[in-house]
Amino acid sequence: MNNNSFQRIQELSRVDVVNILNLVFSDYVLRMHWTLESFERDVRENNISLSESFVMNVEGIHTGIVLLSFREKRARIDLMGVIPGFRREGVGFKMVDEAIRIAKWKGCDRIVLEVPEKDKRAIAFYEKFGFRHRRELITFFIRRPGIGDFSTKESDSGKVVECALYVMDKYKRNPEWEREPASFHHLERYNFDTVIDEQGREIAYCVWQERDSVFYVKDCGPTRAASFKEAIGAICSIAKSKNLTPLFPTVPDNDPLFAEAQEFEPEILLKQSEMIFKIH
């Protein structure tokens, strides 16, 4: 495959980028679709670097795209894909090589990404490069309503981040990229709430939004006076009062939120493999 080149995303129009993404992921295991607005929001919320993300061109045709994010010494392949018609021709291998080269140049010591567990071909592809399975990320519903009368009080991202950091330390949480408290300040259209019980106690924080008729929980955790079980039950009650079903996306299998959710008979919607590549 000759006449290959890489082009930074910032050099393209947003319309071209969105069109490439929608073409690449039109037949993906997880069907995804972007608009100009949703793409710009993803860039802000996920720390995507337009100056480092790129498309690969073959004979002048945009054949693949990689979106990269950076935090301290860590890099993340937020999305990567090749358009139909150019798959299995080495485009993906060249793009991963370029992503690793950029991460090294940025001083990163690791790269992380997520792949649906049922996409065995993609997992095998990344394993050839030395990416290794780190843990499962579970997306699940809880349809059983919680018990008790709870309410929410509007908070702010600063207070919620403070509470989330306390919970991380107390419970030795290691959230996945999008659930890290550092990302909360960039979230848009989310509610930052404190959960209140019948006695007026603050028992939990919750970062959530209503999305597609579900109570979409970006993250939640207990205050100093409560437990994860209490926090989950309260959130389920609040969701039920709004005629919504709580959805907890991409929770690590070793997170106390997932462990305590077992009491509520969660319905697993999706499993993803979090994979990591260590740069030497």
5-35: pLDDT as tens digits: 999 999 999 999 999 999 998 887 677 889 9
Asked whether residue 129 is assigned to any structural domain, the reply reads no
Whether residue 204 is predicted with pLDDT greater than 70 in this model: the reply is yes
Residue 280: band (very low, low, confident or very high) from pLDDT cuts 50, 70, 90: confident
* Same domain, residue pair 186 and 227: yes
Average pLDDT of the chain, as a whole number: 93
Asked whether residue 124 is assigned to any structural domain, the reply reads no
Q: Please, which residues bridge with residue 247 across strands?
A: 141, 216
Distance, in Å, from the CA atom of 215 to the CA atom of 217, rounded to the nearest integer, reads 6
Whether residue 228 is predicted with pLDDT greater than 70 in this model: the reply is yes
Task: Say if residues 73 and 36 touch (Cβ distance below 8 Å).
Answer: no
Q: How many domains does the chain have?
A: 2
Asked whether residue 235 is assigned to any structural domain, the reply reads yes
Asked whether residue 278 is assigned to any structural domain, the reply reads no
Q: How many CB atoms lie within 10 A of CB 68?
A: 26
Q: Please, which residues bridge with residue 211 across strands?
A: 214
Residue the block writes with tokens 């959230």: 175
Distance, in Å, from the CA atom of 5 to the CA atom of 162, rounded to the nearest integer, reads 44
pTM for the structure as a whole: 0.92
Bigger pLDDT: 1 vs 16: 16
Residues 6+ positions from 279 with CB-CB distance below 8 Å:
100, 103, 104, 108, 109, 110, 111
pLDDT value of position 2: 56
Average of per-residue pLDDT across 201-209: 96
* Same domain, residue pair 159 and 262: yes
Residue 255: band (very low, low, confident or very high) from pLDDT cuts 50, 70, 90: very high
- Taking the CA atoms of the chain, what radius of gyration do you get in angstroms? 20
pLDDT value of position 3: 72
Asked whether residue 127 is assigned to any structural domain, the reply reads no
pLDDT tens, 36-78?
A: 999 999 999 988 999 999 999 998 889 999 999 999 899 999 9
Please state, for a pLDDT cut of 70, what percent of the chain lies above it: 99
Average of per-residue pLDDT across 255-271: 96
Using CA atoms, how far residue 63 sits from 11, 24, 134, 166, in Å, is: 16, 9, 29, 45
Give the domain extent around 174. Answer: 140-273
Residue 145: band (very low, low, confident or very high) from pLDDT cuts 50, 70, 90: confident
Task: Say if residues 207 and 178 touch (Cβ distance below 8 Å).
Answer: no
Whether residue 148 is predicted with pLDDT greater than 90 in this model: the reply is no
Q: In this structure, which amino acid lies at residue 18?
A: V
Please state, for a pLDDT cut of 90, what percent of the chain lies above it: 82
* Same domain, residue pair 44 and 93: yes
Whether residue 219 is predicted with pLDDT greater than 90 in this model: the reply is yes
* Same domain, residue pair 104 and 164: no
* Same domain, residue pair 60 and 168: no
Q: How many CB atoms lie within 10 A of CB 280?
A: 5
- Can you give the CATH number for the domain in which 66 is found? 3.40.630.30
Asked whether residue 40 is assigned to any structural domain, the reply reads yes
Asked whether residue 135 is assigned to any structural domain, the reply reads no
Asked whether residue 279 is assigned to any structural domain, the reply reads no
Average of per-residue pLDDT across 142-164: 91
pLDDT value of position 252: 97
* Same domain, residue pair 164 and 96: no
Average of per-residue pLDDT across 139-157: 90
